[in-house]
Amino acid sequence: MGYRKIVRSLCMFTQRPSERAIERLRALAARLRAADYVVQTQRLCSPDIDAVFDLDKRGEGSIFFSVGRQELEQAATMLERFCAARNVAFNVEASVGQIDDRHLGLLMTIIQKCAAKTFSFTFTFNNAVSSPYFPSATYDKEGFAIGLQPTDLSIGCTTVAEWLHRMQEAWIEIDSLMAADEDYLGVDTSIASLGDGAGSFVDLVGRIGSRFEHAITSGVFLKIADFIKAPNTRHIGLCGLMFPCLEDFELATEYERGAFSVERCTFLSLQSGLGLDAYPIAIDEVPTRIIEVLTLLQGLSNKHRKPLSARFISDGIARMGQRTNLRSPFLQDVEVRAL
């Protein structure tokens, strides 16, 4: 076959998180592995805050948890537990109301108290429910959803059309594997990249014969976005192109050389993307600038009626012009620029 079939996230959504739900996750993962899929992570999202933190505390760390959407006030009350948790994520929906010092205060508190947890938190705007990708995942109904790392399906492809065909084959195969399960919600067809080489979306664009900077204004991302939003399969969640700045290592390189600014990322988000994702932020960033960027994303999300998010990443130390020390195999260190 040559290429790799990778499930980035197998996520169970339930109001009653329990060991039984985790056993169900493991059985589903075994089914996917039997069909030659690599299952990177197994996840559980539930609005039951106490039960989620309890499961995370008692577990061995192999399951990733989320309490989904939280109001600002609720988020503030659970920050101590969030910082102490092993693998718990959440998001704050910010599409309604004024972006102000409360939003800024929440972000800065996380940066100051537990900077590594910026990876597990995001602001969302008109978020889509039931996406298996964290930290945007939000409970809506019982069931499970699947998200791929579809860039790896492109190994050996020479055209976008060939890669899109392989993705559709994977969606159809997963639908077939899960057809008998009444709680199967579908596949989030989002393009989620990770690392370098075949895992990188920037690398993929280069392999099909286009420089990333040229592709941004070529229409290729619109073509991909249209395809993944209208698949002939069961789909759910965000179904968009992710540009996770520090998770896609070659995108991080573009950022370092000044080719992936906030403006460029926002432009891509209006075409086909999902906002500022895993985007570096300095501890001395101007507070009013953070509020400006969040306010802009809120306005664009509401105007165009599309999901956007803002997940800023900090190591709690790096200032503008300094290099991060994130100590994460999933994030590339960069010299931080001003927003």
Please tell me whether residue 189 adopts helix, strand or coil conformation.
coil
pLDDT at res. 331: 97
Q: Which of 332, 334, 316 is nearest to 324 (CA)?
A: 334
pLDDT at res. 337: 97
Scanning the chain, the segments in alpha helix (DSSP H) are 19-34, 49-58, 72-77, 79-84, 101-114, 160-178, 201-207, 212-215, 220-229, 249-256, 262-271, 287-304
Residue 233 sits at the vertex; the CA angle it makes with 231 and 234, to the nearest 5 degrees, is: 115
Q: What is the CA radius of gyration of the chain?
A: 19
Distance between CA 160 and CA 208 in Å, rounded? Answer: 7
pLDDT at res. 273: 85
pLDDT at res. 322: 98
What are the structural domains of the chain? 6-313 (3.20.70.20)
Residue 1 has pLDDT above 70, yes or no: no
Please provide the DSSP assignment of 137-163 as one string: ----SSEEEEEE-GGGGGTT--SHHHH
Distance between CA 319 and CA 148 in Å, rounded? Answer: 34
Confidence of residue 208 (pLDDT cuts 50, 70, 90): confident
Residue 271 has pLDDT above 90, yes or no: no
Please tell me whether residue 315 adopts helix, strand or coil conformation.
coil
CB count within 10 Å of CB 89 equals 24
Say whether pTM exceeds 0.85.
Answer: yes
Q: What is the mean pLDDT of the chain?
A: 95
pLDDT digits (tens, 9 = 90+) for 296-323: 999 999 999 999 999 999 999 999 999 9
Contact predicate 273/67, CB 8 Å? no
| Higher pLDDT, residue 99 or 206 | 99
pLDDT at res. 22: 95
CB-hemisphere CA count at 13 Å for 228? 30
pLDDT digits (tens, 9 = 90+) for 68-99: 999 999 999 999 999 999 999 999 999 999 99
CB count within 10 Å of CB 217 equals 10
Residues 6+ apart with CB under 8 A from 186: 145, 146, 175, 233, 234, 235, 236, 237
pLDDT digits (tens, 9 = 90+) for 124-175: 999 999 999 999 999 999 999 999 999 999 999 989 999 999 999 999 999 9
pLDDT at res. 316: 98
Distance between CA 194 and CA 8 in Å, rounded? Answer: 9
Residue 148: strand pairing partners: 7
Percentage with pLDDT > 90 across the chain: 90
Residue 85 sits at the vertex; the CA angle it makes with 76 and 31, to the nearest 5 degrees, is: 120
Confidence of residue 120 (pLDDT cuts 50, 70, 90): very high
